[in-house]
Amino acid sequence: MRTSEPTLPRRRILTAAGYTIALPMFASLRDVPFVREVCAAEPERSSSDTEHQLPKRFCCIFFPNGVSLPPAGHPAHDDWHWFPHREGRDYVLTRPLEPLANYRDELTILSGLSHPAMRSSIAHLTADSFLTGADSSREYTNSISLDQLIAKHLGAQTRFPSLTLSSDGGVGTPGRTQTLSFSASGRPIPSLSQPRAIFNRLFGVQEQTVAEQRRRFGRDQSILDNVLEETATLGQGLSAGDRRRLDEYTTSVREIEKRLASSDRWLDVQRPNVDPADFELAATPHDDVQEYIRVIYDLMYVAFLTDSTRSITYQITSEDAKGIGDRFPSAIGLPGHHSLSHGTGKENGYENWARYDQFLTTQFAYFIERLRSTSDPFQQGSLLDHSCILYGCSTSRTHQAVNYPLILAGGKAMGFSHGTHKRFDESRYRLSDLYVTLLQQFGIEADRFADSTTSLSEVLGV
């Protein structure tokens, strides 16, 4: 990654983006790396279109296998326990979270939250429900993920309604998926893992002309129309179970149909001018792990900066002892991640595991710094002020699916208040309660999500 930081012309970004509303004066944009200019950030709108909304962004970053939680009385307990030992504003960061010391006022550490239905499940099955809250404790099932619900309401504002990333790529298998994102029908959304492929998706030159792409969209739309016409009469005489499966299939087809229509709107819109030479696009998770994770964070950062999308998920590694990320601790001279999580009885076992937790936190701090130090091109404040970032895992102590280690960062301009460690009573609150609050702060009318029973105003500045 280049260290130079070219200037992003303020006037060009406002006029090219096509906004007609009055915007405040911004701080200098000389701190913006990577981007040469934002060109035509949205398609022309008819008078019947809803008013353009200034960007509110959501990002979820997931890591697997829990965190190091040495029990009270253990020599490593005071220093290497992931959660701070005190609540409120006077909490002290333990060593796994020390890389976040400069960002205390930008984040809240959450403990006591989880998905109750999955608390007794095999830990490796819980990542699938991290953003959905679905109950797969008896039979595998899933539903729409939080990021996709946000994308459903805000996605029309950007070229890409959402961006789904992971270090493994693809979808994996039910119960051990390699993606955090699930559609309205509960289907896993394939994730991208190769930096060059992610860059090309966001900013690359299309091989086909606009006319060729539009003709292909037309052919695809025609195929979908035929499929929906045939399935409309197919339901007669089917059993209840088969009708349910047919409905799920039809829903999936309609989701593809909507994506085609959205893509067609953006064909005539020039993409932002982003130089691929500024990124380490050849990085792979097999080589330099830190370089790979940071280029993914760089691409996420620029996707937000250019308003290419407002909803991103990144699964650092899958909840699986065999995934590519199991070897990530070797970046700091440690054995496999899964081995670390089961090696607490060995000499320095908890400390070694916690050192890898600290490594992941260091990379997260890198991303937070990118967002905090960059002025939002479209409104007053930083990118972080207008971005809600959820960082965490769906297991805690040796894969137990309770007391998820969670950090909520950013979003001060969206009503979030930070600087504390909040501990919740797991008998009264659940993670889906937090998701209700997140949806509401995105302007989405919601009083329920999955198994929620309330909302968590505690994370707001009220």
Query: What does the pLDDT read at residue 407?
Result: 98
Angle, helix 240-265 to helix 210-234, in steps of 10 degrees: 160
HSE-CB of 167 using CA atoms within 13 angstroms: 31
Query: Which residues in 370-393 are b (16+ Cβ under 10 Å) and which e?
Result: bbbebbbbbbeebbbbbbbbbbbb
Residues near 7 by beta carbon (within 8 Å), at least 6 away in sequence = 29, 30, 32
Give Dmax (Cα) for the chain: 69
Residues near 433 by beta carbon (within 8 Å), at least 6 away in sequence = 113, 452, 453, 454, 455, 456
For 438, the token pair is: 């997140």
Residues in the chain: 462
Long-range contacts of 436-439 (CB under 8 A, 24+ apart): 438/58, 438/146, 438/150, 438/388, 438/390, 439/146, 439/149, 439/150
Is the distance from CB of 107 to CB of 409 less than 8 angstroms?
A: yes
| Rounded Cα–Cα distance for residues 8 and 356 (Å) | 36
Helix boundaries (H) for 60-174 = 77-80, 146-154
Mean pLDDT, consecutive 10-residue segments, the chain of 462 residues? 40 34 34 52 47 87 96 97 97 98 98 93 85 91 96 88 94 91 92 93 66 51 53 62 62 56 56 86 93 96 93 93 86 93 93 97 97 93 97 90 97 97 96 98 95 95 71
For 22, the token pair is: 């009055």
Query: What does the pLDDT read at residue 243?
Result: 62
Domains, the chain, with CATH or none: 56-204+275-459 (3.40.720.10)
Is the distance from CB of 58 to CB of 150 less than 8 angstroms?
A: yes
Between the alpha carbon of residue 458 and those of residues 97, 146, 313, 438, 462, the distances in Å are 22, 20, 24, 12, 8
Query: What does the pLDDT read at residue 18?
Result: 33
Query: What does the pLDDT read at residue 30?
Result: 44
Is the distance from CB of 274 to CB of 35 less than 8 angstroms?
A: yes
Cα dihedral 189, 192, 197, 201 sign:
positive
Q: Which of 217, 320, 207, 329 has its CA nearest to residue 264? A: 217
CB atoms inside a 10 Å sphere around CB 304:
27
Report residue 301: phi and psi, to 5°: -60, -45
The type of residue at 26 is F
Is the distance from CB of 317 to CB of 328 less than 8 angstroms?
A: yes
SS3 at position 253: helix
| Rounded Cα–Cα distance for residues 410 and 1 (Å) | 25
Is the entire prediction scored with pTM above 0.95?
A: no
For 196, the token pair is: 């060059």
| Rounded Cα–Cα distance for residues 164 and 65 (Å) | 21
Report residue 172: phi and psi, to 5°: 75, -145
Stretch (H or E) spanning 245: helix 240-265
Query: What does the pLDDT read at residue 323?
Result: 79
Report residue 337: phi and psi, to 5°: -60, -45
Query: What does the pLDDT read at residue 268?
Result: 55
